[in-house]
C-alpha cells in the first residue's frame, strides 16, 4: 500500500471518529445507567408531588441527577425556593472542574461553541470523553454533541417514564436501580484503564485510594474519606506518572 493510500485511510478513520453518529454510538454503554437512575428520579419527583410537566421541565432545564433527587426531597420537605437553589448550586459546582478538565481539548472552538458543548456535560459524558483524551490531542465538536445530546434525551425520557410508572413503583431501591450509576462508572473506569499503557500505575493508585478511603473513614465521615482518598491518590498517581 502506498503512503498516499495510508494517509487517505488515516484521514477517513479520523473523520469517522469525529462524526456526530460516532458520539451517539459511544454513548450507548451509558444509556442503561441513565435509564435506571432516570426512572428512579422520575418516581421520587412524582412522589414529592411534582406533575409530569414539572418533572419534564426540571429534567430539561436542571438536567442533573443528584440535584434533582435533592430538589425533590427538599420540595417534599417544604423547603424555601432560596434554600433549594443555593443547595443545587453547591451540588453542581463540580461541573466547573469537569469542564475545566476538558477545556484544553476544545481550544479550537469559539467561547460560544465551547459553552454549547459544556452546557450538556455530565459526569457520565465526561467519563466517556476523558477516555478520548488518552489517544487524541483534541476532541471533535460533532462527536461531543452526539454524545451529549443522546445522553440528554435519554435522561429526559427516563424521568418522564419514571413519573408515569410512579403509581406502580413506589420503592425503586428494592429493584437495585440505585446501583446502576456506580456500575456504569466502574465500567467506564475499566475501559479507561485498559485503554492506557500504564495499567500498573492505575491499579496501584486504585489500591492506594481504597486503603486511604477505608482508613480515613475511621477519622472522618465516609463521604469525606472518599474525597480525601481521591485527592491523595490522584496526586500520587500524577507525580509518579510525571516522574517516570
> What is residue 70's predicted lDDT score, i.e. its pLDDT?
84
Spatial separation of the C-alpha atoms in residues 92 and 129, rounded to whole Å: 19
Spatial separation of the C-alpha atoms in residues 116 and 240, rounded to whole Å: 35
By residue count, the chain amounts to 244
Band of residue 132 on the pLDDT scale cut at 50, 70, 90 = confident
Band of residue 8 on the pLDDT scale cut at 50, 70, 90 = very low
> Is the pLDDT confidence value at 97 over 60?
yes
Distant-in-sequence, close-in-space partners of 227: CB < 8 Å, separation ≥ 6: none
Entry pTM: 0.70
> Over the stretch 133-191, which tens digit does the pLDDT of each residue have?
777 778 889 999 999 999 999 999 999 998 998 877 666 666 665 565 566 667 667 76
Q: Which residue has the higher pLDDT, 76 or 144?
A: 144
Cell triple for 1: 500500500
| In contact, 41 and 159? CB cutoff 8 Å | yes
Return the H-helix or E-strand segment holding 90. helix 81-91
Dmax over Cα atoms in the chain, in whole Å?
A: 71
Give the whole-number percent of the chain exceeding pLDDT 70: 81
Distant-in-sequence, close-in-space partners of 14: CB < 8 Å, separation ≥ 6: none
Spatial separation of the C-alpha atoms in residues 30 and 96, rounded to whole Å: 21
> What is residue 142's predicted lDDT score, i.e. its pLDDT?
93
- Between the two ends of the chain, the Cα-to-Cα distance in Å is 37
Distant-in-sequence, close-in-space partners of 157: CB < 8 Å, separation ≥ 6: 38
Spatial separation of the C-alpha atoms in residues 57 and 36, rounded to whole Å: 19
Amino acid at each position: 500500500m502506498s503512503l498516499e493510500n495510508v494517509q487517505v485511510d488515516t484521514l477517513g478513520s479520523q473523520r469517522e471518529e469525529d462524526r456526530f453518529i460516532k458520539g451517539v454510538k459511544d454513548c450507548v454503554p451509558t444509556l442503561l445507567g441513565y435509564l435506571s437512575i432516570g426512572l428512579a428520579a422520575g418516581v421520587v419527583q412524582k412522589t414529592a408531588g411534582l406533575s409530569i410537566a414539572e418533572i419534564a421541565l426540571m429534567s430539561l432545564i436542571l438536567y442533573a441527577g443528584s440535584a434533582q433527587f435533592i430538589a425533590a426531597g427538599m420540595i417534599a420537605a417544604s423547603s424555601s425556593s432560596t434554600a433549594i437553589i443555593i443547595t443545587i448550586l453547591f451540588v453542581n459546582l463540580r461541573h466547573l472542574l469537569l469542564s475545566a478538565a476538558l477545556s484544553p481539548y476544545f481550544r479550537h472552538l469559539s467561547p460560544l461553541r465551547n459553552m454549547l458543548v459544556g452546557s450538556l456535560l455530565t459526569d457520565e459524558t465526561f467519563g466517556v470523553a476523558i477516555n478520548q483524551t488518552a489517544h487524541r490531542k483534541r476532541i471533535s465538536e460533532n462527536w461531543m454533541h452526539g454524545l451529549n445530546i443522546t445522553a440528554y434525551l435519554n435522561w429526559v425520557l427516563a424521568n418522564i417514564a419514571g413519573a408515569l410508572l410512579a403509581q406502580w413503583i413506589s420503592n425503586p431501591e428494592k429493584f437495585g436501580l440505585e446501583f446502576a450509576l456506580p456500575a456504569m462508572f466502574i465500567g467506564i473506569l475499566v475501559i479507561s484503564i485498559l485503554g492506557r499503557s500504564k495499567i500498573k500505575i492505575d491499579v496501584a493508585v486504585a489500591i492506594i485510594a481504597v486503603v486511604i478511603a477505608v482508613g480515613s473513614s475511621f477519622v472522618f465521615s465516609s463521604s469525606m474519606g472518599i474525597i480525601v482518598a481521591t485527592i491523595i491518590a490522584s496526586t500520587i498517581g500524577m507525580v509518579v506518572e510525571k516522574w517516570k
